[in-house]
Amino acid sequence: MNTQTPSPKPEQPATRLPSSGGAPAGRWLALIRHRLVWPLMALALVLIVDALISPGFFNVRIVQGRLFGNVIDIFYRAMPTAMVALGMAVVIGTKGIDLSVGSIIAICGAIIAWRMHQGDSHFVILLMALAAGLACGLWNGFLVSVLEIQPIIATLILMVSGRGIGLMVNLLYGGTNPSFTSPLLQGLSVGSLGLIPTRLIVGAVIFFLLWLLVRRTAFGLFLESVGGNAKSARLAGVNARFVLLSAYLISGFLAATAGVILTADTHTSDPVSVASNIELDAILAVVIGGGSLAGGRIFLDGTIIGVLVIQALTTSILTSGLPPEYNLVVKAVVVLIVLLLQSSNMRAAVVSVLVRRKA
């Protein structure tokens, strides 16, 4: 038998840009190619502009035993969107999209107000709201993975019907007075543990658990392989159907947690306008964070930075004294700039300019 090992083949020279500037230039190039650099730069840019136009923007003080200040406020307000965006990052990683997250929040809010009215235990109500989110995710996942409906259409169904379902739930008790108070839910939403607002802790725990699931089990690899090439993944033994279903379950569950926070914050169920356009902010955050709608990659850290960019922008427009009418257009322009900076063509152009200057 021929046991000759394959003869070594000359290593193909990897195509590298001419880094004639030596080691420092090489490190500089490596740095600006890191995937988190652009989202972080966008965030820094927004914050620097803030510091220039409103002195004292970064002041943090303690009021009534908890932290206050613009920076804390950005984190605080970003939390619901951050939870939704993390779920969205998972779904987008599988080449999908979940448009129904705002409607899931509306349904959870309606269920919370309804059961409060019926006098259930608040802890049971919390579990019911989360279960409702899972049920919504199951529905989306069923449409996408079993019936193989395109995700944008499949989740559009719940997006359209969800707010209506919320209104119908309100009708179950006449819908006259959907407001409520709950020490447990409001504690989770607007309370604080020591100096830190509770919802920041809830958000951090969710991020950590999701990170464990995606990066410390093989689940992330399966998600990304299904998003990158579902056929290949299936032939490599990955249960693509189960993986897809789970992605929508996660998104539904995380939308429900955002629903609990938002509903407790407003003390009421308002299915028509709660979390309107949150799906668009969430998608935008994923994209700013480096995710691609073509699927195949999940960036949880980038997504959080993306959410912070969007929220920092909103907060700074409000604090800058710019008339609120300008809010949406300014936001759109800044997002456009961020995305232009992220486009690989634009990036290549920037890199080539830098290299030319070094040479």
Partner 1 sequence: MAAIIELTGISKAFPGVRALDHVDFGVEPGETHALMGENGAGKSTLIKVMTGALQADGGTIRLAGKEIRPESPGAARAAGIGAVYQEVNLIPTMSVTKNLTLGRLPRKFGLIDWGAARAIARAKLARLGVDIDVERPVGSYSVAIQQLIAIARALEDDARVLVLDEPTASLDANETERLFEIVRDLKARGLGIVFISHFIDQVYRIADRITVLRNGRRVGVGTTEEIPSLKLVSLMIGRDLEHIEHQRPLMDTVASSKPILTAKGVGRRRLLEPFDLELHPGEVVGLAGLLGSGRTETAKLVFGAIRHDSGEIRIDGHHIASPTPKHSLNAGVTFCPEDRKSEGIVAELSVRENIILALQSRRGWLRLLPRREQDRLTSEMIAALNIATPDADKPVGQLSGGNQQKVLLARSLVSNPRLLILDEPTRGIDVGAHAEIVTLIRELAAKGLALLVASSELDELLAVSHRIAVLRDRRMVGEISGAEATREHIIQTIAAS
Q: Which residues bind partner 1 (CB under 8 A)?
A: 1-4, 6-9, 11-12, 14, 216-219, 221-222, 224-225, 228-229, 231-239, 296-297
- C-beta of 293 vs 332, nearer to partner 1: 293
C-alpha pair distances (Å), 186 with each of 63, 183, 204, 212, 226: 19, 5, 18, 27, 39
Tell the smallest beta-carbon distance from residue 151 to partner 1 (Å). 18
Q: Which residues of 173-191 are buried (b: 16+ CB within 10 A; e: fewer)?
A: eebeebebebeebbebbbe
Tell the smallest beta-carbon distance from residue 48 to partner 1 (Å). 33
- C-beta of 7 vs 64, nearer to partner 1: 7
- C-beta of 117 vs 297, nearer to partner 1: 297
- C-beta of 232 vs 276, nearer to partner 1: 232
- C-beta of 217 vs 273, nearer to partner 1: 217
CA 166 to chain centre: 23
C-alpha pair distances (Å), 13 with each of 9, 272, 291, 317, 323: 12, 59, 29, 49, 56
- C-beta of 292 vs 320, nearer to partner 1: 292
Q: Cα(156)–Cα(331) distance, rounded to whole angstroms? A: 25
Tell the smallest beta-carbon distance from residue 209 to partner 1 (Å). 15
Cα angle: 154, vertex 156, 161; to 5 degrees: 110
Tell the smallest beta-carbon distance from residue 90 to partner 1 (Å). 14
Tell the smallest beta-carbon distance from residue 359 to partner 1 (Å). 23
Say if residue 277 is exposed, middle or buried (CB neighbours under 10 Å; 0-12, 13-18, 19+): exposed
Tell the smallest beta-carbon distance from residue 241 to partner 1 (Å). 11
Tell the smallest beta-carbon distance from residue 240 to partner 1 (Å). 10
Tell the smallest beta-carbon distance from residue 238 to partner 1 (Å). 5
Residue 267, amino acid: H
- C-beta of 2 vs 64, nearer to partner 1: 2
Tell the smallest beta-carbon distance from residue 99 to partner 1 (Å). 24
Residue where the block lists tokens 């093989």: 218
Q: Cα(178)–Cα(116) distance, rounded to whole angstroms? A: 9
- C-beta of 189 vs 225, nearer to partner 1: 225
- C-beta of 48 vs 215, nearer to partner 1: 215
Q: Cα(29)–Cα(146) distance, rounded to whole angstroms? A: 45
